[in-house]
Amino acid sequence: MRLSDISKTRLKSIISNFSKTSIMVVGDSMLDEYVWGDVRRISPEAPVPVVNVESHSYRLGGAANVVNNLTSIGVQTHLVSLCGNDETGSTLKEQLKNAGCPTDGFVSSKTRKTTIKTRIMARHQQIVRVDTETIMELSNEETTLLWKRFSECLPLVSGIIISDYAKGVISPAFTRKMIVECKRRGLFVAIDPKERHFALYKGVSIITPNLKEAHTVLSIPFAPCSNDDIKNIGWAIVKKLDLPSLLITLSERGMALFERAKKSFFLLPTVAQNVFDVTGAGDTVISIYSAAITSGAKPLEAAFIANHAAGITVAQLGTACVTKDELMKVCVQKND
């Protein structure tokens, strides 16, 4: 199959089927806080701007943003994650409920904080980011509770997305156990990876690293790449991790798809008209790709749709989602 072989009829059918599929997201949830204001002077205490705060807003981050992306396009979703027993955790759950996302799969930790990333913004320009988080491996009690939530949801889904932000939920023991059980059931497994866990991902359906992460998989220094370089890196990752498919996101250059069975390599140029903020773009890509695959798409069709979804979200400030109607419109128009 080539990009030119993708038909409007197929795209409409795949996107229409989103509401018929169900996906579980497992991983590190977080809250993105935006403090909005303006800068009118420099502090007399240090050479730094003074931001006069005008308002606050919140966005969903990490695994919570993946679930939000799926819910926004009509996919039936389940979230298995962990948060602290704190005010930030309560706000995170409230934001999920407001977006129509599930919260019953959360495990409340007695020992860790809910991750919150606070961005200080002055006239849409980020001044500084402040992270409040606890990064450590799961306790035995937390692992047991998460496995219980996972096991309860597994019979209800067509696939799972593991959203690894290296905050602790995606521990080696828990991840291996999940992947083994999913393989036993023949379920689709997609992983948004983090560098330190690459060895855990061997044999899953697909991983979606960015180009820097792709270099890390192979333990090679990150450097500017030609298309041939990307092709060589991708096939080396497919071989090393025994992957049926690999999708490398390339920021403003688009994405690269590798299919092992067909020995196919596709470079999908970006369709973004404007790149305003890439925050959360990886969440959008893995969400839409997984929704498409579990709705009957072939890998190239799924990547095509995901690429167009990312083109919409990077034109907005902060983490953002697309709707089914927006996706239908942009995919069909771009394919005319």
Specify the 3-state DSSP secondary structure of 224.
coil
Phi/psi of residue 40, nearest 5 degrees? -120, -10
Which tokens in the block code for residue 302?
């799924």
Does the annotation count 229 as an active-site position? no
- Distance, in Å, from the CA atom of 324 to the CA atom of 336, rounded to the nearest integer, reads 18
Start-to-end CA span in the chain (Å): 17
> Are 32 and 103 within 8 A, CB to CB?
no
Q: Which helix (H) or strand (E) holds 229?
A: helix 227-241
Say which DSSP state 17 is in: G
Enumerate residues 6+ apart whose C-beta is below 8 A from 333. none
Phi/psi of residue 329, nearest 5 degrees? -65, -50
> Are 259 and 242 within 8 A, CB to CB?
no
Q: Of these residues, 104, 283, 325, 336, which one is catalytic? A: 283
Specify the 3-state DSSP secondary structure of 333.
helix
**Which residues are part of the catalytic machinery?**
283
